[in-house]
């Protein structure tokens, strides 16, 4: 999977308003009502990561989830990261 050019990443991000290009990664923060809702989303996301064989760097503090997506092989953003971001959006939206 090839590294995307910065300008292409910015263009793609226009359709991902929750996400930004930060530290060679796609980055988003999500806030839930409580820990249970947050961890439930994380569980769903974890299954999707396994299905895609692509995994986030993430932190959770109570109801806040911070997610960084990058492709380790190329040390930057690829289509794989956008594909996972899209799936994460669908999971998080259902819980809003
Ligand atoms: C061997 C296996 O395909 C790799 O380690 C996968 C697993 N999950 C991964 N996740 C992420 N975010 N980037 C990778 O390059 C990656 N590679």
> Which of 24, 56, 67, 73 is the best mutation target for the ligand 1 pocket, counting ligand atoms within 8 Å of the beta carbon and taking the most?
73
Enumerate residues lining ligand 1, CB below 6 A.
53-55, 70-73
Summarised one tens digit per residue, pLDDT across range 53-83 is 999 999 999 999 999 999 999 999 999 999 9
Nearest CA to ligand 1 atom 8: 54
How far is 25 from 13, CA to CA, in rounded Å?
12
| b/e per residue 9-30 (b: at least 16 CB within 10 A) | beebbeebebbebeebbbbbeb
> What pLDDT score does 69 carry?
98
- Domains plus CATH for the chain? 6-95 (3.30.1360.20)
Does the pLDDT value for residue 96 go beyond 70?
no
Look up the pTM and report it: 0.95
How far is 78 from 59, CA to CA, in rounded Å?
21
> What pLDDT score does 51 carry?
98
Summarised one tens digit per residue, pLDDT across range 3-20 is 999 999 999 999 999 999
């Amino acid at each position: 999977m090839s590294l995307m050019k910065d300008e292409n990443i910015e263009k793609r991000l226009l359709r991902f308003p929750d996400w930004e290009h930060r530290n060679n990664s796609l980055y988003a923060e999500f806030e839930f009502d409580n820990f249970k809702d947050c961890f439930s989303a994380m569980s769903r996301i974890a299954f999707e990561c396994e299905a895609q064989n692509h995994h986030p760097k993430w932190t959770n503090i109570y109801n806040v989830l911070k997610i960084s997506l990058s492709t380790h092989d190329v040390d930057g953003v690829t289509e794989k990261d956008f594909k996972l971001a899209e799936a994460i959006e669908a999971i998080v939206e259902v819980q809003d």
